[in-house]
Structure 1
Amino acid sequence: MADSAQDKHLPPTARRLQKAREEGQVARSRDLGHFAVVAAGLALLMAAAPSLAQWLRDLLGAGLRFDVRTVATPAAMLDRLGQLFMPALLLSLGLGSAMAVVALATAILSGGWVFTLKPVMPNFGKLNPLAGLGRIVSKAQIGEMLKAVLLALLLGSVGAAYLWAHLQDFALTQSVGLPAAFVAASDRIVSGLWLLVLVLAAFALVDVPLQRFLHTSRLKMSVQEVKEEHKQQEGSPEVKGRIRQRMREVARRRMLAAVPGADLVVMNPTHYAVALKYDDGRDGAPRLVAKGADLLALKIRDIARESKVPVLQAPPLARALYAHGELDREIPYALYSAVAQVLAHVFQLRAALAGRAPWPADLPVIPVPPELDPHNPKAQPATAEPA
């Protein structure tokens, strides 16, 4: 069952925000773009006002200058119109290009650069008139419509109030020369436009944080959605558990395969088992090639006996090696002496069985530092099972 809007009370995650951004959904303020475009255009006009005023006077003067040939030849009127039209067109294109750059820069600054074709891709689901009607009468669309109506009313009211207050000034421009009238009217129009820019700025100051809030609200998530996203990113706990179990099984088989090549197995006698190997040409100290507890310890013992690997029962040493030793690593330095005694005894025992040396004496108590033994019992005599 889909989560209702009331269930979506959690803030959107970083992944949700990134996914929405990839789909072109970002918090952008139209009012900020309107303000930036109008303010930039007005600033450009004011900066170029002296040159622009002179250019307009020259253009108007040239347009009102006629001679007999121009009046008598209709084609000459079209040529004159083309000559007057091209400068105006170039001015409009330049101003329009500047406004487009300002609009693009404002959109990037407010919402960042987003390039995606998803919003323009065909979506036949939008052809459903009922779904389209739902989008048109949604709360978001109604809110945007009311905001646009309010902005239009304010702009119209401010503009009408300004024109009413300066109506006499505009009327007086008819009593002066054309250049002076043009300058006076331009000043009045620019002042009125600045008032409209202030209204747009006030709307933008409110609309920018409002759009960010609405964007975050639209992307809010339910508890189930957060769980599903976490599961997609991190993987299903069941799958991860099976993967970990599979990895443990592979590591266990690899470890058990190393037991037949070990030199010695130390046991507790049944709770812990540790297999050691020493290669004096390669290793600086004996390496721990396998270890296990309970059933795995018995498995290591059985494999060792089948492979004729000596098994030594030394509970403190077995516990210390199991607790502090790491697979395929050399044994801890504090256990060098104890392991050396055990290996020496095993090597002497092998030589005696082969008839190359006398039978060794019983192995004495193995010295294991008490702090390395997890159970910390008294040292027990060790007995060896010959291979």
Structure 2
Amino acid sequence: MGLRMDLQYFAESGGQEKTEKATPKKRQDTRKKGQVAKSNDVNTALILLFVFILLFAYAAVPGQFLHDLFMEIYINYVGMAFTIENVMALFLDLLFEIAVVLVPIMLAALIAGVVSNMVQVGVLFAPEAIKPKLSKINPINGIKRIFSARAIVELFKAILKIILVGLVAFGILWLYADELLRLALVDVMDGFHLVSYLTGMIGIASALLLLILAVPDYVYQRYDHEKQIRMSKKEVKDEHKKMEGDPLIKSKRRDRAKEMAMQRMMQEVPKADVVITNPTHYAIALHYDGDVMAAPTIIAKGADYTALRMRQVAELNAVPTLENQALARSLYDGADIGDEVPEDLFRAVAEVLAYVYRLPSIAPKRYPEV
């Protein structure tokens, strides 16, 4: 059986051991399914703590209710005729009064349950976790869970908690043994106050003890959850491929992005003062405005086909084109689009711009007052 499970695990992991931490997508997917690191012991301890703290401060209300109820039963209800109508009326009356007393306690338990879950897993709505599945009612799987190592561990934990809570309760009762032995000699309400006080103390002490015991369980649940959602290297690679999409679609997307980038760059070429070429392999478009720029700026550059397109656009828009192989190659390798000309190329670029500005077709536009 163990060998078969190992082989199944090996096959499901694609022949690789699950050694990689879960990716953010895997964590999100498992969270949507309701698979999160959560300790039920934390929920139980916090619910008990909230409820017993409320009972500790709220004991006078149910105590007075029980006192009034017994008084009313012995005074008003004892002589009542035993009919269906009277029994139903009495039942509905008592049900309403009991509900009024118990609603605050039930609300405290509800709030504690919500808070304990939010502390552990945050805000989570996972309807997939409550979908009916045949595997959940499979008797074979149920038997496996009953006799699994986890079930044995939970059994020992439950026994340990029962023993410790029993010791706490016994210790508190032992401290108040004299008062408890005198209960028959005190007033009913005084006796009720003592019992409710001891019950609250036992409940709060037990809840605090269970909360302390729940901390290592929560740590273990987080460790076990991380272990369960581990991935093999193949699963990580497959997930990346799936997220990135089909290679053909990726290629088309890249081509589209390059085309759009080229279109934007070609729109900048008409603004250039000069296009420096290699003459066929490289093209660099430069623009300089002394009022707003500290140095000439590269507004477009390209190689091969892109360089050819730049020269064509420059020709159509009457932008001067100047061949300078060394300068074109240096500018292409030394700066990106939007960068200023490197300092070591200032002199060469200044000579090119000075030459361009003296051209008959450029000088009148550049210096209209001359």
Q: By the TM > 0.5 criterion, same fold?
A: yes
Alpha-carbon shift at residue 101 of structure 1 (Å): 1.8
Q: Which amino acid aligns with 1:41?
A: V
What's the % identity of the aligned pairs?
Answer: 31
User: What is residue 152 of structure 1 aligned with on the other side?
Assistant: 162
User: What is residue 215 of structure 2 aligned with on the other side?
Assistant: 205
Comparing 107-116 with 179-188, greater Cα deviation is found at 179-188
Match of 1:71 among 79, 90, 99: 79
User: What is residue 352 of structure 2 aligned with on the other side?
Assistant: 338
Instruction: For 1:156 and 1:2, locate their aligned partners in 2 and report how far apart those are by CA, in whole Å.
Output: 46
Task: Give the number of the structure whose alpha-carbon radius of gyration is greater.
Answer: 1
Contact 1:310 1:346 in 2 (8 A): no
Q: How many residues align?
A: 340
Alpha-carbon shift at residue 344 of structure 1 (Å): 5.5
Contact 2:16 2:233 in 1 (8 A): no
Runs (5+) with no aligned partner, structure 1: 279-284, 349-387
3-state SS of 2:75 partner: coil
Instruction: For 1:98 and 1:17, locate their aligned partners in 2 and report how far apart those are by CA, in whole Å.
Output: 32
Seen in structure 2, the aligned counterparts of structure 1 residues 302 and 196 have a Cα distance that, compared at 3 Å, is closer
Q: Are residue 121 (structure 1) and residue 135 (structure 2) matched?
A: no
Q: Are residue 112 (structure 1) and residue 122 (structure 2) matched?
A: yes
User: What is residue 70 of structure 2 aligned with on the other side?
Assistant: 60
Seen in structure 2, the aligned counterparts of structure 1 residues 269 and 119 have a Cα distance that, compared at 3 Å, is closer
Instruction: For 1:19 and 1:287, locate their aligned partners in 2 and report how far apart those are by CA, in whole Å.
Output: 48
3-state SS of 1:47 partner: helix
Alpha-carbon shift at residue 3 of structure 1 (Å): 2.1
Comparing 285-294 with 202-211, greater Cα deviation is found at 285-294
The one-character-per-residue Cα deviations of 1:344-370 (angstroms, maximum 9, x if unpaired) are: 66969xxxxxxxxxxxxxxxxxxxxxx
Q: Which amino acid aligns with 2:44?
A: H
Q: Are residue 222 (structure 1) and residue 236 (structure 2) matched?
A: no
Instruction: For 1:64 and 1:108, locate their aligned partners in 2 and report how far apart those are by CA, in whole Å.
Output: 47
Alpha-carbon shift at residue 91 of structure 1 (Å): 1.0
User: What is residue 96 of structure 2 aligned with on the other side?
Assistant: 86
The one-character-per-residue Cα deviations of 1:75-126 (angstroms, maximum 9, x if unpaired) are: 4963556544532232123321222122212222232111121112243555
The one-character-per-residue Cα deviations of 1:24-66 (angstroms, maximum 9, x if unpaired) are: 2232222222222222222222212344433332322222225
Alignment of 1:1-387 (within 5 A): 1-3=11-13, 7-65=17-75, 70-71=78-79, 73-75=81-83, 78=87, 79=89, 83-124=93-134, 126=136, 129-131=139-141, 133-134=143-144, 137-156=147-166, 158-159=168-169, 170-234=180-244, 240=250, 243-244=253-254, 247-248=257-258, 267-268=277-278, 272-273=282-283, 292-293=302-303, 313-323=323-333, 334=346, 335-341=349-355
Q: TM-score, normalised by structure 1?
A: 0.64
Q: CA RMSD in A?
A: 5.0
Seen in structure 2, the aligned counterparts of structure 1 residues 207 and 6 have a Cα distance that, compared at 3 Å, is farther
Seen in structure 2, the aligned counterparts of structure 1 residues 8 and 41 have a Cα distance that, compared at 3 Å, is same
Q: Which amino acid aligns with 1:190?
A: G
Q: TM-score, normalised by structure 2?
A: 0.66
Contact 1:264 1:343 in 2 (8 A): no
Instruction: For 2:254 and 2:177, locate their aligned partners in 1 and report how far apart those are by CA, in whole Å.
Output: 83
Q: Which amino acid aligns with 1:54?
A: Q
Seen in structure 2, the aligned counterparts of structure 1 residues 221 and 144 have a Cα distance that, compared at 3 Å, is farther
Seen in structure 2, the aligned counterparts of structure 1 residues 257 and 346 have a Cα distance that, compared at 3 Å, is farther
Comparing 204-213 with 263-272, greater Cα deviation is found at 263-272
Seen in structure 2, the aligned counterparts of structure 1 residues 179 and 8 have a Cα distance that, compared at 3 Å, is same
- Higher normalized contact order (CA 8 Å, seq sep 6+, divided by chain length): 2
Contact 2:53 2:204 in 1 (8 A): no
Instruction: For 2:339 and 2:227, locate their aligned partners in 1 and report how far apart those are by CA, in whole Å.
Output: 55
Contact 1:29 1:204 in 2 (8 A): yes
Instruction: For 2:275 and 2:14, locate their aligned partners in 1 and report how far apart those are by CA, in whole Å.
Output: 62
Alpha-carbon shift at residue 328 of structure 1 (Å): 9.8
Contact 1:317 1:338 in 2 (8 A): no
The one-character-per-residue Cα deviations of 1:226-283 (angstroms, maximum 9, x if unpaired) are: 3333444455778646643564477679989999xx99875545654557899xxxxx
Alpha-carbon shift at residue 293 of structure 1 (Å): 4.8
Instruction: For 2:314 and 2:200, locate their aligned partners in 1 and report how far apart those are by CA, in whole Å.
Output: 98
Alpha-carbon shift at residue 343 of structure 1 (Å): 7.6
Seen in structure 2, the aligned counterparts of structure 1 residues 135 and 292 have a Cα distance that, compared at 3 Å, is same
Instruction: For 2:65 and 2:273, locate their aligned partners in 1 and report how far apart those are by CA, in whole Å.
Output: 102
